[in-house]
Structure 1
Amino acid sequence: MQGVEREDRELLDAQALVGHLVPEGGMFAFLAAHRHDVFSDEEFEDLFPSGRGRPSIPASVMASILVLQTLHDLSDRETAEAARCDLRWKVATGMALDHKGFDPSTLVYWRKRLAKSTRPHRINDAVRRVVEETGILRGRRQRAVDSTILADAVATQDTITQLISAIRRVGRVVPGAAEQIAAVCTGHDYDVPGKPVIDWDEPGAKETLVSALVNDANALLEAYSGVDDDEWDEPARAALALLALVAGQDVEPAEGSDGTDGRWRIARRVAPDRVISTVDPEARHTRKSPEARRDGYRAHVAAEPETGIITDEALTKATGTENSDPGVAEKFLAADAEAGADGAGAREWYGDSAYGTGYLRGAMHDAGHDAVIKPKPLHAAVEGGFTVDDFTVDEPAGTVTCPAGNTRPITKARHVIFGALCRDCPLSARCTTSKSGRTLDLHERDALLRRARADWAAKPELREKYRQNRPNVERVVSHIASRGGRRLKLRYRGTEKNHAWLTRRTAGLNLRTLVGRGLVRTAGIWALTPQTT
């Protein structure tokens, strides 16, 4: 059953005895006074529907602990120790000085209850209601978007480790698989922990091992190819699917092989959506820049640049079009419109050149918003030569005219092929190196992209607005991704759990921002003190 906070204080109540030691104006002092106002027991009643059994830790206390945990980037064990030994935590959560705290597994229990509920992100929702009631965002039209890569909680695995791990997982979770592995998998003893013992400096030995493991994986998959898996649970089906994936993503037929003789080698390329660990199959390789490759997940954020209040967040896989910066920004745009946020109408959306796609600009334009987004740089086919902006596009006529005055039609696929016209053109050396002539691929929102590039070049006030507002979101991202100068590393596996962590962290950061601006509760209403608004 759900526990509730007692109105009467205990004899050794921490707030009564040492509350004066906790500085005013901070998160600990705020939660000591207002945790039940932000996280009311009624908001968590559905987590304990039976009303029977031993009372849980009160919801207001546990919600406060989860927020403090993410703000301070503590493990479950460190969090339980802080609640037991740190006077600030005892004051913030209403515990007595001699309270022994709780077992770290209690945090896992609460996170699971929240994840399975109809409102898994209710802690974040509670803080958003406080933000809305203060009116701090009222009339503020700007929103800035950005993202960062957060390292995953597991080690990146090589191909051999992944194959062995995937076969072992099938043996653990698929009914009857242990017997099948013993019968059809002869390349390695999968009961022996660790990597196989071979001469790793000998290329032939490594290739022989890869072939044996791939053949074992294929044999195991073949053994289950005709089996009806309707009665299997999701982990069993997922284990076979993962085995099929890792058996194909990193290998290719060996030199001189057609793929049918059982000889394989590690592929001389990286799969575009490569699984990097069987322990966390949703973690990915990615690049924040051409020079810096990172492994993990991508955290996206939208924030009001002047106040630093986070208005939306999402944690996604690090690869995939739907998980890209402009792809997630479109979802933020749609969510903002659906919420009818503050009745603000048209907004100004700020983003760097990664967000300068035609589709995102089109979505903003169609919604009546202004895109203050740095355009993507144009690259000429010939160094110092003509770019696409040197070609004149006539959309009503469906034609494009090149710098030499030649006009060609726009095809249904929005290609423009100049072909033989380039052969004797005196400007061809500045236009193309292709023997078949210049070809343009026009985006369906080409007019918006051209206008954005022209406005960026011709309007210094646009660049000034960008300079003033866009960098502020980088500070917000820094608060999300680091603490005390140390880059954070995710503590959970999978997109769902890590997204839940991100919502709790943004809730804590928003609440901390409001507290720093003088958040008070007067006559049951949240407000900011006048001198800080």
Structure 2
Amino acid sequence: MAMRAKAGAVIPAMTVRVARASNPKGTVAMWVRDRLDGLWSDADFAAWYPRDGRPGISPAQLATVSVLQYLLRLSDRATAEAIRCRIDFKYGLALDLDDPGFDHSVLGDFRDRLAEDDRADGLFDLALTRLREAGLVKERGRQRTDSTHVLAAVRDMNRLELVAESVRDALEDLARYDPAWLAPLIEQEWGKRYGRPPRPGRLPHTPQARLRHAEQAGADGQKILRAVWAADAPAVLRTLPQVEVLRRVWVEQYFFDADAGRLRWRSSGKGGQGLPPPLTGLVSPYDTEVRYARRGGTIGRGYMAHVTETCDDGDEPRVITDVLTTHAPIHDSQVLPVIRQRLGARGLLPREHLVDGGYISIALMDRTTREHGITLTGPVRKNYSRQNLKNEGFGKDAFHIDFDRRQAVCPRGKTSSSWKDPAQVIEGVPYILVKFRKADCTPCPVRIRCAGSATAPRALSLLPENLHHLLGRLRIEQQSP
């Protein structure tokens, strides 16, 4: 389907007159048209469509329709009906009153085109540019960022289901491409094991039976991989998507035991070689980007979407300035520098950036202010020390820290014996390790409450001076109204 450019951008006079008379205060569709004069032009979509073919509908109109559809929470059928029947939609799209609109399936085709490559990001940047020109979003305002889980459209699988399904899909992929090559490889029992998708009710239940099943699947998968990587096998077989998935799953779920001379099922116990970390471990053969994550009480397989929007005071509209999707296990604090870089590329760095505690680290707050002039606002991490949680003993706040003299004084007046700077690095921050003398701590009557041990002297891990004072000030501010 070729692109059919919409000639002109003038709203028909009759459409204007009727829309203004019936909606004197305006509607969302009319507001978008009046304030933005169309977010996009057809020239922005020229690369999406072939130059020849049956003329299609104006892509700029379809993009605007998609925005209105999202704002008003309409289905495809309801959106097509609104374009056909609602006067304000005809105004927003510069249509004649007798324009019949289009079939609802056109919207699905447009979204398919939008999902290819990086088209959505490009269209989003064009919209932000137009919003900036209209004065609806500006640099050095106030913005906020929050994240949400995006569950993948795949079935949850345990490890046995994952390996069995990986074998089944690899066999189907090979059978479609070269059934003659695959035929001598197939064993009689494979039809029973992999003839239909695995389900928990079809798998063994006892630990011993499950282990035997896993190791049998491992041997079957290994036989396929060895055949595919044999010198006389067609090289193209190694490039098949599900064969590559099988190879990755086998690396993550099995290891070769040199002593036993065979593959063994990985486990977290002694001699099990460990399981893959969540950031790299495949959880589905159908979507290799999906990852498993546990955050607080939420467990899921999918992604994390980080959405940034303006939140200035007043009646100005909230405008989304960035949407970043990451693997689910990636921590929020690792994402914030990436978001800041993307906002800077768009010329939309905020003056104040509001985030929740997951994005915050004291070092990141300090670096963001010094290097970019951005005030990063959010709850800093609580003090989880034993003394603070139980509200007994002496926490760090009870000690007098003298950074100039490189020493600390405990509440009972004893001075530290050593000051190692820096002793360890945690989350990119060099911590200072301060220790007290055993001779001072052993006779102390509050030793157990302070040091937590009958023999070990007290030790403190401190942030560098500027971060230490900043953290203390922020914790005090968080307790204020």
TM-score, with normalisation over the residues of structure 2?
Answer: 0.73
* Structure 2 match to 1:156: 156
Aligned equivalents of 2:117 and 2:335: distance in 1?
A: 24
Task: Verify the 8 A CA contact 1:298 1:318 in the aligned structure 2.
Answer: yes
* Alignment partner, residue 303 of structure 2: 297
Q: Note if 1:142 corresponds to 2:142.
A: yes
Give the Cα–Cα distance (whole angstroms) in 2 for the partners of residues 421 and 84 of structure 1.
81
Q: Which amino acid aligns with 2:416?
A: N
* Residue 26 of structure 1: aligned partner: 27
Q: Which residue of 2 aligns with 1:348?
A: 352
SS in 1 for 2:131: helix
Match runs of 1:320-399 below 5 Å? 320=330, 324-341=331-348, 347-367=351-371, 368-382=373-387, 383=390, 384-390=392-398
Residue by residue over 1:272-296, the C-alpha shift from the partner in whole angstroms, topping out at 9 and shown as x without a partner, is: 31433222222223234x2232332
| Ranges in structure 2 where 5+ consecutive residues have no aligned partner | 425-430
Change (3 A) 1:138 1:218: same
TM-superposition CA deviations, 1:46-95 (whole Å, max 9, x none): 334x5322222202221123324444667xxx525631576349635548
- Of the candidates 430, 435, 441, which is equivalent to residue 449 of structure 2? 430
For 1:278, the aligned partner's letter is P
SS at match of 2:185: helix
Note the C-alpha offset of 1:348: 2.3
Alpha-carbon displacement from aligned partner over 1:351-398 (angstroms, at most 9, x marks no partner): 222222144224313223223221101111454344455566666777
Decide which structure has the larger Cα Rg and report it. Answer: 2
Distance, in Å, in 1 between the alignment partners of 2:401 and 2:243 is 52
Pair 1:410-2:416 in alignment:
no
Q: Is the 8 A contact 1:394 1:400 kept in 2?
A: yes
Q: Does the CA-based 8 Å contact 1:400-1:416 persist in structure 2?
A: no
2: CA distance, partners of 1:245 / 1:442: 43
Deviations 1:476-521 (A, max 9, x none): xxxxxxxxxxxxxxxxxxxxxxxxxxxxxxxxxxxxxxxxxxxxxx
Q: Where do residues 440-479 of structure 1 align in structure 2 (5 Å cutoff)?
A: 446-459=464-477
Which of 60, 76, 81 does residue 79 from structure 1 map onto? 76
The answer (yes or no) to whether the contact 2:66–2:107 under 8 Å persists in 1 is no
Residue equivalent to 2:428: none
* Separation in structure 2 between the aligned mates of residue 411 and residue 331 of structure 1, nearest angstrom: 28
Greater relative CO (CA pairs within 8 A, separation 6+): 1
Mapped to 2, the partners of 1:365 and 1:9 lie a distance apart of 47
Specify the SS of the correspondent of 2:247. helix
Deviation of the 1:405 alpha carbon: 1.9
Determine helix, strand or coil for the equivalent of 1:115: coil
SS in 2 for 1:164: helix
**Structure-2 change in CA distance of 1:298 and 1:448 (3 Å):** farther
Question: What is the SS of the residue equivalent to 1:371?
Answer: strand
CA contact (8 A) 2:29 2:89 kept: no
1:43 corresponding residue in structure 2? 44
Contact 2:409/2:416 (8 A) holds in 1: yes
Does residue 220 of structure 1 match 2:224?
A: yes
Letter in 1 for 2:304: R
- Residues in 1 aligned to 2:221 and 2:23: alpha-carbon distance in whole angstroms: 59
Partner of 1:206: 210
Answer yes or no: is the 8 Å Cα contact 2:221–2:246 preserved in 1: yes
Distance 1:21 1:251 in 2: 69
Asked if 2 retains the 8 angstrom alpha-carbon contact of 1:144 and 1:351, the reply is yes
| Partner SS for 2:116 | helix
Distance 1:70 1:6 in 2: 26
Q: Structure 1 residues 155, 15: CA separation in 2 closer, same or farther (over 3 Å shift)?
A: farther
1:194 and 2:197 matched: yes
Map of 1:525 onto structure 2: none
Deviation per residue, 1:173-220 (Å, 9 max, x gap): 466588458626676326612227857444443332222112222333
Tell me, yes or no, if the aligned pair for 2:167 and 2:194 is still in contact at 8 Å: no
2:293 alignment partner in structure 1: 286
Find the aligned partners of 1:327 and 1:454 in 2 and give their Cα distance: 23
Gaps of at least 5 residues in structure 1 are: 465-533
Note if 1:166 corresponds to 2:156: no
Could you tell me which amino acid in structure 1 is paired with residue 474 of structure 2? W
CA separation of 1:433/1:68 partners in 2, compared to 1, >3 Å: closer, same or farther?
same
Cα gap change, 1:278 to 1:21, in 2 (>3 Å): farther
AA matched with 1:364: T
Q: How many residues of Structure 1 are paired with residues of Structure 2 in the alignment? A: 445
| Contact 1:283 1:295 (C-alpha < 8 Å) held by counterparts | yes
Structure 1 letter corresponding to 2:65: I
Structure 1 residues 194, 335: CA separation in 2 closer, same or farther (over 3 Å shift)?
Answer: closer
Deviation at 1:124, TM superposition (A): 1.8
Relative to structure 1, the CA distance from residue 179 to residue 330 in structure 2 (aligned partners, 3 Å threshold; closer, same or farther) is: same
In structure 2, the CA distance between the partners of 1:68 and 1:187, relative to structure 1 (3 Å rule), is farther
Percent identical pairs in the alignment equals: 18
Query: RMSD between aligned alpha carbons?
Result: 4.5
Deviation at 1:299, TM superposition (A): 1.4
Question: Residues 44 and 105 from structure 1, CA distance in 2 versus in 1: closer, same or farther, beyond 3 angstroms?
Answer: closer
Deviations 1:108-155 (A, max 9, x none): 4654366336x5423322331233123344576422222121222222
Q: 2 CA distance for matches of 1:439 and 1:335?
A: 42
Relative to the length of structure 1, the TM-score reads 0.67
Aligned partner letter, 2:301: D
Q: Which amino acid aligns with 1:121?
A: D
Amino acid at match of 1:285: Y
Within 5 Å, which residues of 2 pair with 1:53-72?
A: 53-71=53-71
Aligned residue for 2:190, secondary structure, equals: coil
Alpha-carbon distance in 1 for matches of 2:254, 2:151? 26
**Equivalents in 1 of 2:183, 2:436: separation in Å?**
59
- SS state of the match for residue 410, structure 1? strand
Judge conservation of contact 1:151–1:294 (CA < 8 Å) in 2: yes
Matched position secondary structure for 1:349: strand
Distance 1:214 1:341 in 2: 52
